[in-house]
Structure formats: C-alpha cells, structure tokens
C-alpha cells in the first residue's frame, strides 16, 4: 500500500500469520479504538476518574465488580500479586519489592511456568512475591497444592495459554476450590483469551487480559475482578505500578475496543478466517512432503489455525528452513514457529488485511517450489536455531 507508514520509516512490510504476538505489534487496532485515542490525546483528564469510567466498562464486559487498565497483561500479573501481598497498606506498597510482608508466597503449577517473551514467574518476583512451584512439569495433584498453602501464602496464579502443559495439571475449577478452601485468592493470566467472563464465573478473584491482542486495542493490560482485589492492585500505581502506567489514550482506547467487542461480527470474522485456511489448504494439497491440517485453538478460543507439517526428504526442506525462507523473502511472512523442532509450524489467519491471504499462499508455493527444485535437502542444523536465537537482540541496535 502506498500509504504504508512502514516504507516511510524503513521497516519491513511483514505479513503476520503468527497470531497476536507482541513482538509483531500484537494485532490490527480496531477503528473505534484509533478514533477514541485520537480524540482524547489533545485533552487533559483526571486519570483516576478516567480509570473509574474504564472500570464500569470492564465490569460490564467481564462480570467483575471493578477493573482498570495497565501497561500489559504482564504488568497486570505483577500488580495483582502485589495487591494480594500488601492489601491497602500504603507503606508496604512503597517498599515493594525489597521489603515485603511475611505473607508473600505465590503458588504456581510447574507446568504453568512458561515464557510469553519473559518468564511468568519473573512477573511475580517483581512484585515481591516468592514463587512456590507445585507438582511437576506434567503432573499436579490436589495434595501438591493443599500441602503448599500455609500462613505465608498470599495468592495462587493460574495461567491460560497455548504454551502451558495441557494435560495432567489441575484445572481452574479445582485450583480455585483448593485455594478458596484455605482463603487464598486466585489470579488468572488469560492474556490471549476471547471469553471475558468465563474465568471470573469459575471463581477467580482477579483475571488479567491483554487489551492489544484479540480485543484490538492499544498496547495494554486489563485487570478485572472483585472490587477489593482490583482496588489493592490499582493502589500499586503508587509503587511498582508507576513504571507500568498507561496514558489517557490507552485507557480510552481500551474502553472503545471493549465496547466494539460487544458489537463485533464474530461469526463473520470466523467465516472469513476459515476461507483463508481453506485457500491455504488447497494451495498445499498434493505437494510432496507437506501435510496441512486445520486445527482448533488449544485454549478453546473460537478460531482455527493451520498446522503445516514438513517431511524434509520429500519436501527438500525442513520446517525451520521453510519458516526462515518465508521470513526473509519478499514480502516477509512471519509464521508461528515455536514448535518447529517437531517438523511443523502454524499459520494463524486472525491478523491479515484483505488480500494478504493470497500473498501468503503465493509465497508458500514460491518457497516450496524453490526447495523441490533443489538437488539436496535444505537442512540447516537444528542446533543453529538455539545458537543464534538471540544474536539480533545481543547486537541491538546495530
């Protein structure tokens, strides 16, 4: 597009089939949020009063008693944990994280300690929380949690993500039951979830959402839940939350994105995304060494993705080399490749502008045809992915 700002500032015009990834800008911000942000930017407001207005919208959409907007879902984890540790003790809020009350232990299932770009447990430690891991990576039982709770337990954190181990762990209803039986509040990290009411309805005290993923708002996090727990988290803006603050434009932009969510044509969007998946499946059908499977979202969001499975001897390329070729070509196509060592990656249709699905199909054909024309299998050693994963960051800004 001629008015694409990326060309003007020298950025690559990437096409995102990875999903709502922060590293790519998360999502296409909905027009209602863009308009709201532009309208409030020239004006002065009393931020705490604006947050009260946001609280009313968040409550209506989530079923919580209160809510507020912060910098990110990761910020929300830290603020919610800090709120459970300090309550409304203003001196304790100022002293975090170095000097914390004795009641500062936070329970997390070992299979939930994942990275969303940073470790989940670090967000807890930033708040002064002492992480208590329960169970093993692939199994947590009631007795693990029941015996971990003591007088020092401030909260229990539950993570909903495609990254977590999805078997053998305590489900949320049971997690809440055990925690509440001993008076421990439950915080749910639901950053990238469609259902804004489910987790509070299942008994969570605080739920954290991303404002900039499926909601299509500005970069932000949403804290929702009981009035007391949300208030205690909000008070952290006098302490560790100062570095996680958001401006008037983000608060109002999230309000607009939430209200747009209520009237969004979810069925129409699903139909359009399904047409993209069908196009890609047709494109890949019959190609040697390539299997295309349409699969549902692992956390039950109402969307599907395509798993592209590559057999290198027939396709003449590995899954990770194909992902790299798509990423480095023109235009660059960024796939979801966090499980690529298993010889597959995903194509996510949720963040495409109209017409980009055809570009993705053409680029897939181009790279697969190029690989098939090669006399040898294109197979970079897998260990190179690990060896060079952080080269760009370590050399930044060069």
In order along its 398 residues, the chain shows pLDDT tens digits of: 457 888 889 888 999 998 888 787 788 899 999 999 999 999 999 999 999 999 999 999 999 999 999 999 999 999 999 999 999 999 999 999 987 778 999 999 999 998 888 899 999 999 999 999 999 999 999 999 999 999 999 999 999 988 888 899 999 999 999 999 999 999 999 988 888 999 999 999 999 999 888 889 999 999 999 999 999 999 999 999 999 999 999 999 999 999 998 898 889 989 999 999 999 999 999 999 999 999 998 888 888 999 999 999 999 999 999 999 999 999 999 999 888 999 999 999 999 999 999 999 999 999 999 999 988 888 889 888 878 888 888 888 88
Domain 31-263: which CATH number of 3.40.1010.10, 3.40.640.10, 3.60.21.10, 3.30.1330.10: 3.40.640.10
Prediction pTM value: 0.91
Q: What's domain 5-22+266-392's architecture?
A: Alpha-Beta Complex (3.90)
Map out the domains of the chain as residue ranges: 5-22+266-392, 31-263
Least Cα distance to 372 among 286, 308, 300 occurs for: 286
pLDDT of residue 62: 95
Angle among Cα 268, 274, 277 to the nearest 5 degrees reads 150
The pLDDT tens digits for 8-62 are: 898 889 999 988 887 877 888 999 999 999 999 999 999 999 999 999 999 999 9
Task: Express each pLDDT in 366-394 by its tens digit.
Answer: 999 999 998 888 888 988 887 888 888 88
The answer to whether 371 and 378 are in contact (CB under 8 A) is yes
């Amino acid at each position: 597009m001629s008015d694409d700002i990326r060309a003007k500032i020298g950025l690559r015009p990437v096409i995102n089939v990875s999903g709502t990834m922060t590293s790519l800008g998360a999502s296409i911000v909905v027009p209602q949020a863009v308009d709201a942000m532009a309208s409030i930017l020239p004006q002065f407001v009393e931020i705490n009063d604006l947050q009260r207005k946001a609280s009313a919208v968040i409550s209506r959409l989530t079923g919580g008693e209160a809510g507020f907007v912060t910098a990110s879902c990761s910020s929300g984890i830290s603020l919610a944990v800090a709120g459970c540790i300090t309550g409304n003790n203003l001196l304790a809020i100022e002293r975090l994280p170095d000097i914390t009350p004795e009641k500062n232990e936070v329970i997390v299932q070992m299979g939930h300690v994942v990275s969303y770009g940073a470790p989940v447990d670090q967000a807890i430690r930033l708040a002064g929380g002492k992480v208590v891991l329960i169970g093993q990576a692939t199994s947590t039982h009631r007795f693990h949690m029941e015996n971990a709770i003591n007088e020092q337990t401030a909260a229990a954190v539950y993570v909903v993500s495609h990254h977590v181990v999805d078997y053998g762990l305590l489900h949320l209803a049971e997690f809440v039951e055990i925690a509440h039986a001993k008076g421990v509040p439950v915080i749910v990290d639901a950053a990238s979830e469609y259902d804004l009411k489910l987790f509070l309805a299942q008994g969570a005290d605080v739920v954290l959402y991303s404002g900039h993923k499926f909601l299509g708002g500005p970069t932000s996090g949403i804290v929702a839940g009981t009035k007391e727990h949300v208030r205690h988290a909000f008070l952290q803006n006098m302490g560790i939350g100062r570095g996680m603050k958001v401006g008037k434009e983000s608060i109002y932009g999230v309000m607009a994105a939430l209200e747009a969510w209520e009237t969004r044509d979810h069925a129409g969007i699903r139909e359009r995304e399904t047409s993209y998946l069908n196009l890609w499946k047709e494109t890949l059908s019959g190609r040697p060494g390539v299997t295309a499977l349409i699969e549902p979202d692992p956390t039950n969001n109402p969307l599907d993705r395509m798993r592209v499975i590559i057999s290198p001897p027939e396709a003449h390329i590995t899954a990770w080399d194909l992902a790299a070729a798509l990423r480095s070509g023109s235009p660059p196509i960024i796939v979801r490749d966090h499980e690529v060592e298993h010889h597959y990656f995903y194509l996510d249709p949720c963040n495409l502008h109209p017409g980009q699905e055809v570009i993705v199909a053409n680029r897939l054909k181009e790279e697969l045809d190029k690989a098939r024309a090669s006399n040898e299998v294109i197979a970079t050693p897998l260990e190179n992915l690990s060896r060079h994963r952080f080269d760009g960051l370590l050399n930044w800004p060069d």
